[in-house]
A and B are shown apart, each in its own frame.
Chain A
Amino acid sequence: MRKLNILKTIVDWFWIISMLSVPLVIIMIGFVIVDDSNFGIPLRVNGILYEEFNANTKLILIASMVSYLLSLYAIYLFKNVLREFQKTKVFSPKVSDSFYKMGIVLLISALLTGVPSFLYRILSRLKFELEFGLSPFLLLLCFGLFFMILSEVFKIGQHAKEENELTV
């Protein structure tokens, strides 16, 4: 359980630090949307530097922002799952439900990150680029699907546990 405690501590710290950044990011995005300015501070979201602000850029920025908030929600769910593990409630419906929700949230987050960034690259640079390697889009997509599979595995485990408990 020592490893679990270490992981829980790391996730908790990451969660606290992320929560501190949320109001700041929301205010910043609000200014960008309303005022069309970034106060000279370079704004980089998911590896893309936003220099000029028009309707398209704003939409992409909002999508990235929602994606970021969804990722934070996924971390919050993960935190809850780790808490359940600490209580040694491994095969509970809460855990499998949380894994499923995490999967869905990460999939949506991946789509909100990947599709607008791809479109922005095409629209802003007017050229088609191919990028190889582990992109955040692919990683998030894989994690999302992995968590959904994990949810199914935990449901099977939950069923087995229930059967074991009801075997006399």
Chain B
Amino acid sequence: MATNKRVPVTVLTGFLGSGKTTLLNRILSEQHGKRIAVIENEFGEVGVDHQLVIGAEEELFETNNGCICCTVRGDLLRILGQLMKRRDRFDYVIIETTGMADPGPVAQTFFLDDDLKEQFMLDAIVTLVDAKHFEQHLAEMKEPAEQVAFADVVLLNKSDLVSAADLERIERRIRAMNGTARIFRTRNSDIAIDAVLDVGAFDLERALSVDGAFLQPQYPFEWAGVYQLAAGSYVLRTGAETHAHHHAPHHDHDHDHDHDHDHAHAHGAGLGVVLLPAAAASDDALAALIEPAVRAFAEDALAVACEGALAIGATLQRIDVTHSGSHFRLQVEQPGAYALFCEHAPVEFNLRLEGATPAVERAFASHHHDEEISSIGISDARPLDPKKVNDWISYLLQSRGQDIFRMKGVLNLRGEDRRYVFHGVHMMFDGALERPWAGAARQNSLVFIGRKLDRLELEAGFHSCLA
């Protein structure tokens, strides 16, 4: 059978209640002209009267010494094998996994079994996240993070059930774990079909899209703003825009207490800020302060309690934001421009300098969240030695295959006119020379997603491959 006739397979993961079944029913009821076979691990949930819904019982086959990297799903081997034995070919397969499923063995099944590889092609892993309960699940179990880490597409579902600030923070956490997934905020699993089907995430021939923002340099802060300030007293305030703080103490508890507890989970003790005098309230002046700010963020922090005073200068200060309506005093002696650098986006805390609005502001890519699972991107234009690349990748697969869930990349190999494109799932690896560079700027872009990844180790490995 010709390679291009392979039937694409989408794997749908996500915790119970994240909206998988709703999404599946939406896909099946929509008029897209596709004949879709569904393999369900949570049987009997699809309500649509659909001809090809097959129940499966999750079954892991360890093909080698119990190593997770060599584990495949026996139930899928059997059922997909059975699906090949039909003349009325279906165009698409969707595998809905159980809430607790590890997507690794599902993906590996398509790498390890030659018969299956001939007939089916993994299209993408789509993970649904229940925005309301995601952080709680994340704190309690390892599966939600793994499902996010494996994903090519993340639907941040039930986005209407949380506040804008919560949603922002959750999306940042997802982004910190998985730097390349396309993230969509959805309500009731409402999403355009082409965002989840025929994505081509495992297709080496399609241009590998590594998210541009992810490959930018990373900073210890997510936001900076420059204010033009007159001499005088200012207050930096968090929480709801209410004056209830003084005369109705129980009131602000009602409003914001839960919300702030979530912050304690995500950010530990206090929000890091640095306040520096700027040459002007301009983009250039802000840019000139980035380096001093990065240095200040590397220093020990000074804790500032609620109602405490903020210092101007190259000092990292951790302001206590565990309670809503926290406020901090700022005394400005010299009128002029001042830049405030924040560890997290102010919107997460409704942080504002009362009586002033930033003349200039800028968001920064930051990945210093303390997630056990993270993404590391490497971007470098210099050509690589193919032999050295081979050695390095082999070493990585063997020594770090357990911890690297996904890797993908486009490489600029010395003496080669075409892009070398690869992807991997644990120890499974697939790579090929694809489109010529032609006039495009030659560039290496690599992304690793996994557990306890060491940026320095990966960068050192990459540098060892330079031609």
Tell whether A and B belong to one assembly.
Answer: no
A contact set with B: CB distance below 8 Å: none
B contact set with A: CB distance below 8 Å: none
